[in-house]
Structure 1
Amino acid sequence: MKRQKRDRLARAQSQGYKAGLNGRSQDMCPHQQGDARSYWLGGWRDAIGDRESGLGLYSYK
């Protein structure tokens, strides 16, 4: 049985979250447009909020 890949939108959100925790700019989003960009930016915004709340660099969602 083949292993199913993670949902691409969930992966985009996760990658955005990690980028935000590492202090990267939102301009570093690898997606040009569409749903994946929205999810990446959503994850990035969540991470920026978490950083401002005092969560450490090693706290991944």
Structure 2
Amino acid sequence: MERAFQRGYMAGVEGKSKEMCPKEEGPEHQQWINGWREGRSDHWDGYTGVSGIHRFNEVVIHH
């Protein structure tokens, strides 16, 4: 579940579509979508490059 969130987060930060989610439904799908949403929010807030690395570590540790 944690891995699904992390992968979704990375997809969101990279600006990828939520349609890229590898699961169609279920708890892993939901965790991936949750990560994607947080990643998209961070992408819009400018967390890219070095600042993105620091933010990613915060997300991974606290999730």
TM-score normalized with structure 1 length:
0.78
User: Kindly, what percent of the aligned residue pairs are identical?
Assistant: 34
Give every structure 1 segment of 4 or more consecutive aligned residues whose post-TM-superposition deviation is greater than 3 Å.
none
Q: For the structure 1 residues 57 and 24, does the alpha-carbon distance in structure 2 shift closer, same or farther, using more than 3 Å as the test?
A: farther
Instruction: Give the aligned length.
Output: 53
Give unpaired runs (5+ residues) of structure 1.
1-8
| Structure number, greater radius of gyration | 1
Tell me the equivalent position of 2:45: 53
Q: TM-score, normalised by structure 2?
A: 0.76
Residue 40 of structure 1 aligns to a residue in which SS?
helix
RMSD between aligned alpha carbons?
Answer: 1.2
Gaps of 5+ in 2: none
